[in-house]
């Protein structure tokens, strides 16, 4: 039972912190123990699954708020009370992110077509 609790604490720590050292300090579990768990394939699978789930949740949250962010950028661009530099920065940000997002959507479309062909 103690191993299961330790495993849960380590996974939570790894998800919350950027380094093994920070995880060890936050959880009170030694770095050596954390590294030992990370060498275990079953543990790594569970950790990777929870990490992917966390990333997917955060990605969905970002997507859900994308319209709000775009509206705010457009408001900055449209606000003649903002300095020219602030408006140009907002325009540049909007254009750069639009280009990257468009590129990614195009790549995903092409990949989907290739997968359909491969079937």
Does residue 1 register a pLDDT over 70? no
Does residue 2 register a pLDDT over 90? no
35 vs 113: CA distance, rounded Å: 41
Does residue 8 register a pLDDT over 80? yes
Which alpha helices (DSSP H) does 17-65 contain, by range? 20-27, 31-38, 41-64
More confident residue, 25 or 119: 25
Q: Sign of torsion, CA 67 70 75 78?
A: negative
Long-range contacts of 49-54 (CB under 8 A, 24+ apart): 50/11, 50/15, 51/14, 51/15, 54/15
Does residue 26 register a pLDDT over 90? yes
State pLDDT tens for residues 69-111: 999 999 999 999 999 999 999 999 999 999 999 999 999 999 9
């Amino acid at each position: 039972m103690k191993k299961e609790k330790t495993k849960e604490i380590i996974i939570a720590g790894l998800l919350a912190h950027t380094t093994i050292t920070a995880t060890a300090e936050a959880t009170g579990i030694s770095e050596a123990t954390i590294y030992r768990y990370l060498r275990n394939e079953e543990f790594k699978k569970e950790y990777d699954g929870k990490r992917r789930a966390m990333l997917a949740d955060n990605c969905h949250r970002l997507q859900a708020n994308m319209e709000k962010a775009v509206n705010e950028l457009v408001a900055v661009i449209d606000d003649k009370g903002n300095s020219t530099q602030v408006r140009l920065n907002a325009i540049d940000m909007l254009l750069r992110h639009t280009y990257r997002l468009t590129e990614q959507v195009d790549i995903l479309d092409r990949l989907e077509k290739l997968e359909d062909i491969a079937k």
